[in-house]
């Protein structure tokens, strides 16, 4: 179970880092329509791999910490933050779908200022969600390490 937990957590954390790097490069080298197509394809695959690894990591972590009556405040916090992470991930996936639609609208109507503003707002929301996911992931990893060491 420990190996499953470690592998799933590594996939989750590694995929967050990889996705950030790939997104940065793709924005620099791909034109608008290619970016939309690329990010849509990546999003579909990441939705499966990322979500599965997150859920397996959480499930394995809960199984390793079972029963709840033995949990410390540290484990309680890690479990609660894991729930926040699942919600933030779901919000990020929904927001990514919205951004695909907005970017397509922006490409078909480049002079539409309302759509351009919506895309800018969407980018800010996406950055906020990614930051939240990264910070909560880091907090969960630190809490889990603390729980294991005690």
DSSP 13-60: HHHHHHHHHHHHHHHHHS-HHHHHHHHHHHHHHHHHHHHHHHHHHHHH
Q: What is the pLDDT of residue 23?
A: 92
Please name which of 14, 33, 54 lies closest in space to residue 110, comparing C-alpha atoms: 33
Averages of pLDDT over each 10 residues, the chain, 150 residues:
96 95 95 93 94 97 96 97 98 95 95 97 95 97 94
Q: How many residues in total does the chain contain?
A: 150
Largest CA distance in the chain: 60
Task: Give 129's contacts (C-beta < 8 A, 6+ positions apart).
Answer: 88, 91, 92, 95
The pTM (predicted TM-score) of the whole model is 0.92
Please work out, in degrees rounded to the nearest 5, the angle formed at the alpha carbon of residue 107 by the alpha carbons of 106 and 108.
95
Q: Domains of the chain: which residue ranges? A: 2-149
Report CA 75 to chain centroid distance, whole Å.
Answer: 21
Token couple for 22: 């790939």
Q: What is the pLDDT of residue 150?
A: 83
């Amino acid at each position: 179970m420990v190996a499953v937990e470690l592998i799933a957590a590594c996939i989750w954390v590694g995929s967050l880092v990889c996705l950030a790097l790939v997104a940065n490069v793709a924005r620099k080298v791909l034109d608008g329509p290619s970016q939309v197509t690329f990010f849509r394809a990546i999003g579909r695959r990441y939705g499966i791999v990322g979500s599965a690894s997150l859920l397996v990591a959480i499930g394995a972590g809960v199984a390793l910490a079972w029963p709840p009556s033995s949990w410390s405040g540290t484990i309680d916090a890690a479990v609660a933050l894991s729930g926040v992470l699942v919600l933030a991930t779901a919000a990020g996936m929904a927001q990514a779908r919205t951004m695909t639609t907005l970017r397509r609208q922006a490409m078909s109507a480049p002079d539409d200022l309302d759509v351009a503003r919506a895309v800018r707002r969407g980018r800010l929301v996406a950055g906020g969600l990614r930051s939240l996911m990264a910070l909560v992931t880091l907090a969960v990893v630190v809490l889990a390490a603390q729980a294991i060491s005690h």
